[in-house]
Amino acid sequence: MMPFFFPWAVTFELYHLCIQSFLKSLNTRLNCYGFYRRFHSVAYLQQIWWLEVCGEIDFCFPAGSYSLFFRLHLGRPHKCTGRRGHGSESIHGWDIKPTRFQLSTSDDQHTESECYLSKPGRWILYHVGDFVVSSSDEVTELRFSMMQIDCTHTKGGLCVDSVFIFPKDHRYEEECVPCQKIL
């Protein structure tokens, strides 16, 4: 019997995610750019104090093990005129404190992880955690989030594209960064 394989990744456009950025500066802006992304626009966070991206989905997954990822890009991606750059002058604050990721399911599976956002200039899949679905007949409720809420410094230069859910043994086309689990 062949293992089940998603022909697609479960992705969520940004408006499906609850983005709560507590912007505490008049010159803080949220811009949308459409370069190297899966959707027509992505959120570009130019300067923020507090970031919380959260979402949830109820879905009948086939039985198996799955991994959840946030797809992020440090720097403003450039596609115009064929140049590849990342505008590193606008990237700041992500190396001071780690970003925290959380994943929980309706059957009490829970994982927390954290990592520093790094590797500017390319789309990176940040691994949030894994979960197991034991029965295809039941709806699995997933709740996931990404937070960086240290208000002692500003952060900026981050593009938020989407969330992916893949079978755990899936081969990834993009670079993946494993985050350190929090016990």
Q: Domains in the chain, start-ordered, CATH in brackets?
A: 14-181 (2.60.120)
pLDDT of residue 88: 62
Q: Please give the Cα distance from 87 to 90 (Å, whole number).
A: 6
pLDDT of residue 42: 75
Amino acid of residue 51: L
Which of 23-27, 46-50, 130-134, 154-158 shows the lowest per-residue confidence on average (mean pLDDT)? 23-27
Question: pTM for this structure?
Answer: 0.75
More confident residue, 19 or 134: 134
pLDDT of residue 79: 57
Question: What is the mean pLDDT of the segment spanning 7-18?
Answer: 34
User: Band of the pLDDT at 151, cuts 50, 70, 90?
Assistant: confident
Question: What is the mean pLDDT of the segment spanning 173-183?
Answer: 83
DSSP 40: S
Q: Which of 171, 101, 169 is CA-nearest to residue 132?
A: 169
Q: Which of 74, 54, 89 is CA-nearest to residue 119?
A: 74
Q: Please give the Cα distance from 54 to 19 (Å, whole number).
A: 6
15-72: pLDDT as tens digits: 333 333 332 232 333 333 333 445 567 778 888 999 999 999 999 999 999 999 999 9
pLDDT of residue 118: 87
Q: Please give the Cα distance from 27 to 13 (Å, whole number).
A: 26
* Contacts for 35-38: CB closer than 8 Å, 24+ residues apart: 35/77, 35/78, 35/79, 35/80, 36/73, 36/77, 36/79, 36/123, 37/77, 37/123, 37/159, 37/161, 38/11, 38/71, 38/161, 38/162
